[in-house]
């Protein structure tokens, strides 16, 4: 497995396994277990996914030494703020049955993110988190957070796939030495990604699947990626992407697919902000 070096010296696998939209506990536990058995060591979850307990059971069941794993979870909007973050962190840690986290992210750029960040800085200083970061921030909000706090986020996790390549955001992350991480690397199956002729031709050229081509494209860009699947054969397939390389010409072909638009609603839409403010969960 290839690793990336974060801005605090911590190494993070460039390929991991995500569990967004796997709320069924048994299904989630089995999927994470299969991923760990296939060789994945980065597991990405969140309090809002309502499956931290299942992830924790899979980790324990795997028997893999804790120091070999890189576990990420995220703070939800309703727990934003200094005290809320401290409490939410402990709850997540307990659900995961862990003594520390490798990466803790602010899940959405809403609420008292500055109070949350101060709490996360303290948890980091106490050794309870190896790295802290954010998710779904627009570039201006990321820079504002960096300029007004002591610790620069180690990771920024954002929607990144062939149809929304985040080129400009990636440039900002590079400028401030923040690791780019992709969620939804396969565009959640939207835009007929698996029937896209550019990607199909590249898959045929390399004797790989469309998924493998996309994941390899991301990792060659230096982007950490966390594909999700509940099917063992797909989990294994998505892991086997390091035995081929995409040429610069092929990278440029994929670049032509960029629409520069998210496949979801804008985080800057006032109605979307209201939606997140009112979205309460039992976590």
pTM: 0.96
Residues 225-268 pLDDT 10s: 999 999 999 999 999 999 999 999 999 999 999 999 999 888 88
Tell me what pLDDT residue 60 has.
97
Tell me what pLDDT residue 23 has.
83
Domains, the chain, in order of start with CATH, read 3-278 (3.20.20.100)
What tokens appear for 110 in the block? 């809403």
Residues 195-231 pLDDT 10s: 999 999 999 999 999 999 999 999 999 999 999 999 9
The CB-based long-range contact list for 144-149 (8 Å cut-off, 24+ gap) reads 145/113, 145/114, 145/117, 146/176, 146/178, 148/114, 149/114, 149/117, 149/118, 149/121
Banded pLDDT at 38 (limits 50, 70, 90): very high
Tell me what pLDDT residue 239 has.
97
Is residue 279 pLDDT above 90, yes or no?
A: no
Q: How far is CA 229 from CA 19, 27, 34, 233, in A?
A: 8, 10, 10, 9
Residues 134-178 pLDDT 10s: 999 999 999 999 999 999 999 999 999 999 999 999 999 999 999
Is residue 54 pLDDT above 90, yes or no?
A: yes
175 by Cβ neighbours in 10 Å (0-12 / 13-18 / 19+) ranks as exposed
- To the nearest whole number, what is the mean pLDDT of the chain? 96
Catalytically active residues, by annotation: 49
Banded pLDDT at 9 (limits 50, 70, 90): very high
Q: Could you tell me how far CA 104 lies from the centroid of its own chain?
A: 11
Residue 152 DSSP code:
P
Tell me how far apart the alpha carbons of residues 78 and 219 are, in angstroms, rounded to a whole number.
33
């Amino acid at each position: 497995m290839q690793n990336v070096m974060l801005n605090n010296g911590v190494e993070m696998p460039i390929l991991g396994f995500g569990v967004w939209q796997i709320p069924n506990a048994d299904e989630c536990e089995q999927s994470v277990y299969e991923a760990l058995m296939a060789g994945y060591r980065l597991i990405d979850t969140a309090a809002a996914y309502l499956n931290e307990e299942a992830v924790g059971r899979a980790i324990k069941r795997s028997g893999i030494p804790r120091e070999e794993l890189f576990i990420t979870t995220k703070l939800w909007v309703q727990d934003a703020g200094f005290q809320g973050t401290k409490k939410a962190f402990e709850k997540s840690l307990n659900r995961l049955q862990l003594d520390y986290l490798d990466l803790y992210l602010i899940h959405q750029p809403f609420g008292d993110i500055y109070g949350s960040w101060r709490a996360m800085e303290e948890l980091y200083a106490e050794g309870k988190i190896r790295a802290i970061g954010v998710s779904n921030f627009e570039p201006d909000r990321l820079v504002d957070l960096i300029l007004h706090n002591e610790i620069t986020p180690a990771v920024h996790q954002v929607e990144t796939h062939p149809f929304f390549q985040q080129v400009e955001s990636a440039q900002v992350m590079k400028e401030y030495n923040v690791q780019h991480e992709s969620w939804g690397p396969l565009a959640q199956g939207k835009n007929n990604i698996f029937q896209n002729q550019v990607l199909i031709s590249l898959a045929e050229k390399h004797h790989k699947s469309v998924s493998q081509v996309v994941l390899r494209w991301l990792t060659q860009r230096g982007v950490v990626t966390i594909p999700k699947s509940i099917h063992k054969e797909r989990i294994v397939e998505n892991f086997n992407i390091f035995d081929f390389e995409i040429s610069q010409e092929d990278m440029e072909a994929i670049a032509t697919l960029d629409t520069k638009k998210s496949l979801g609603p804008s985080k800057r839409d006032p109605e979307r902000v209201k939606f997140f403010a009112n979205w309460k969960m039992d976590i």
